[in-house]
Amino acid sequence: MPNATKTSLIWGFSTASTLKALAEGTVEQQRISTIWHPTLDEPIRIKKGDRVQEFCYDPEGNVTRQATRKTSEPELACTQ
C-alpha cells in the first residue's frame, strides 16, 4: 500500500465554518479553519497555524480590505 495521508473536511452549518485537517496523524499535520460570509460565497477569516487571513467585502462581493496577522493580534474591523 502506498504511503497515504488522511484529509478531513468538517462543515459547521450553524456557524458557516469549515475545518480542514491535512495529513492527520503525521508530523506534517495542519489544520485550516474558515469562517464564511453570511450572505456571500466568500471567506471572511482563514486560520492556518498562528496566521489568520481576513477579508472585508462590499455588498457586491468585491474585496474592500484584507489583512494577514498573527492570531494574537487584533481582528480586522470591517465597516460599510
Q: What is the pLDDT of residue 1?
A: 40
What is the per-residue pLDDT across 1-49, written as a single tens digit (0 to 9) for each?
Answer: 455 677 776 766 556 788 888 888 888 888 899 998 888 889 999 999 8
Task: Read off the pLDDT of residues 57-66 as tens digits, 9 standing for 90 and up.
Answer: 999 999 999 9
pLDDT for the residue 12: 66
Break the chain into its structural domains and give their ranges: 6-70
70 contacts: CB under 8 Å, gap ≥ 6: 50, 51, 52
pTM of model > 0.95: no
Residue 11 is predicted with a pLDDT of 67
The residues with which 45 forms a beta bridge, in sequence order, are: 35, 54
C-alpha cell of 55? 477579508
